[in-house]
Structure 1
Amino acid sequence: MSTDYQQAREALGLRLRELRLSAPGDRLTGTDLARTLGWPQPKVSKLENGKQTATPEDLRQWAQATGRPEAYGELLARLRGFESHIRSWRRQLAAGHKAVQDTHLARHNATALFRGWESSMIMGILQTPDYARHIFRRYAELQQSPRDTEEAVRSRIKRQEALYDPAKRFRIIMWEAALRALICPPAVLSAQLDRLAGAVGLDTVELGIIPFEAPLRIPPSTAFWVYDDSQVIVETWHSELWIEDEASVGTYLRTWRTLRESAVYGADALRVISAARQDLRGA
């Protein structure tokens, strides 16, 4: 968990404690508040000490129970202020993958320059429907989320319309491992590699591949996407990080440019894709 996120959660906890201690009437203890709300007492302590993230309903009940219902708007704004930057998969996938894909679709529609780095799978905007279908199924199993695979696939494929918009530019880098990861059957991966080779000729796309044998200045680590040099989205196993502060965005842009130094493009990229495809068919 990031330091900024934890600090914001602790600050919210302090505000909750202030509301409890300044409640009208006699001093309201944590035990009293828990009893009033029908909560286990440790929950009050965890919220006040920044050990647990409150839900909007938690905040509404807290404001009511401490006699300060008008404080709910302020508390909710605080929650939204830091939660919007760290979006847990548990909450995002409560209704399935489609809602997440729709969010990314809207972000792509509003973006003119997209920079992306992927180390372990084909970039989403370049995926075939069959490849995407296997990705969504695997992640639904991992996250134990509702399966809305076909709806999620349709939303992801619709995002690809942006590839043919002359007002947009896509600067994508992938590690060779992404071309060879058998997250799907070989026949599906083979078709995906054919699709990837076709993307090299699009005038809106600059596709770079970092071969296994390329010298690296930094390790090829976590995938991330940069939107118009103003926002970064990073995927982790438990959440997405939405990063907007200038210094952090700058770090990811430097990371992207450093990785780019090891990538090959054009005919050289096609040769890496072709070698992966031939090895797959010969396996």
Structure 2
Amino acid sequence: MTDEQSIRNGDAAPAPVGVVLHQLRIEAGLTGAELGRMVEMSQSKISRIETGSTPVAPEDAGRLARALGAPADVVARLVESAEATQNRLTDMRSAAGSVTASQRSVARMEAGVREFRVFQPAVVVGLAQTSDYARAVLVAAHEVRKAAIPEADNVVIPEALSARVRRQEVLDDPDRRFFFLLTESVLASAVVAPEFMLAQIKRLRQLAVQPNVTLRIIPAAAPWTIAQLHGFELLDSKCVVIDVYNSSIITTGAQDIALYRHAFDRLDESATSDIDPILDKYRRHYRNLLD
């Protein structure tokens, strides 16, 4: 049975989408360049799709299959298979090679994004962190990683910090919108010394009045609308990025993106834009600790 027949018959383990598209192209007697001209796609992209070196977007899978004359049921199965592949979490550390490279990879993904939606229940949103706060977060994550991987080198900290701070340059683009959602417990957690927490609170206050930034806080007494399991960053409707101790996890699946957008909207129902009283509360708290 050919791989195309496997796709057609719905076998449990059909061939990868790229392999099937390659076979369809060969059967159609087309070169990659000829197919590329038909669908307005570069020959190199088609080659990467066929070899599996790059994931194929569901819309690209459908467009290529239809151009190659595949029956409607085969097109549908290829699109479904591509979607299922996208709904998988990818470890950016494995793909990029290091924590620093992971930060740079996320920055590249953020480069073309117009709307950022970020929820954090544990630490200040990465794009809003001061350098001292960011350093403390990265050091804490690195210490956990080093406990499991003793040979982990401390040199990654300044590199990763530099990469994270450079990511914040996107905030200066007035054509981009940022929706930051924090829990009050983030402010209560003394991630850094009181004087640095005061600087972080000042930074949040500055961002809150920036025209392209919406900063909302979920008060400690607010009822839960949905479980606050972990932080995440939703980039347009393209992907979701989840920060963990030693990496970033990404998914580009439509189902995953819809799930996280729903989660963000439900969490936002408990939040308030009247954040000055909350920020003032913790400013007084950390000032008292300095006395």
TM class by shorter chain equals 0.5 to 0.7
Which one of the candidate residues 263, 271, 281 is aligned to 1:275? 281
Letter in 2 for 1:127: Q
Cα distance in 2 between the residues matched to 1:218 and 1:238? 26
Cα distance in 2 between the residues matched to 1:150 and 1:238? 15
| Count of matched residue pairs | 210
Q: Deviations over 1:161-203 (max 9, x none)?
A: 2111011000110101111212222221121111111111101
Tell me the residue number matched to 2:234: 226
Which one of the candidate residues 213, 218, 243 is aligned to 1:235? 243
8 A contact 1:120–1:177 mirrored in 2: yes
8 A contact 1:166–1:204 mirrored in 2: yes
8 A contact 2:107–2:167 mirrored in 1: yes
8 A contact 2:89–2:250 mirrored in 1: yes
Cα distance in 1 between the residues matched to 2:229 and 2:89? 20
Mapping 1:76-225, distance limit 5 Å: 85-87=89-91, 89=93, 91=94, 95=98, 97-144=99-146, 145-147=152-154, 148-225=156-233
8 A contact 1:140–1:146 mirrored in 2: no
Cα distance in 1 between the residues matched to 2:107 and 2:165? 9
8 A contact 1:111–1:228 mirrored in 2: yes
Name the Cα RMSD after superposition. 2.8
Tell me the residue number matched to 2:149: none
SS at match of 1:203: coil
Per the normalisation by structure 2, the TM-score is 0.65
Q: Deviations over 1:191-220 (max 9, x none)?
A: 111111111110110001001011221122
Bigger mean CA deviation after superposition, 176-185 or 256-265: 176-185
Paired-residue identity, %: 24
1:111 CA drift (Å): 0.5
Cα distance in 2 between the residues matched to 1:102 and 1:244? 18
In structure 2, the gaps of 5 or more residues are 1-11, 17-49, 56-84, 147-151
In structure 1, the gaps of 5 or more residues are 1-9, 16-72
Change (3 A) 1:263 1:82: closer
8 A contact 1:86–1:239 mirrored in 2: no
Per the normalisation by structure 1, the TM-score is 0.66
Letter in 2 for 1:211: P
